Amino acid sequence: MRETSASGLSCRRVVVFFTSIALHFVLGLSGDSKNANTGAKAESHTSSGRTGTKVILILVGFVAVALFSFFLYKLWQKKKRDEQYARLLKLFEEDDELEVELGLRD
- pTM more than 0.85: no
pLDDT tens profile 63-94: 999 999 999 999 999 999 999 999 998 887 77
Burial class (CB in 10 A: 0-12, 13-18, 19+), 8: exposed
Task: In whole angstroms, give the CA distance from residue 45 to residue 28.
Answer: 9
Higher pLDDT, 1 or 43: 43
pLDDT of 41 reads 52
Neighbour count for residue 93 (Cβ, 10 Å): 7
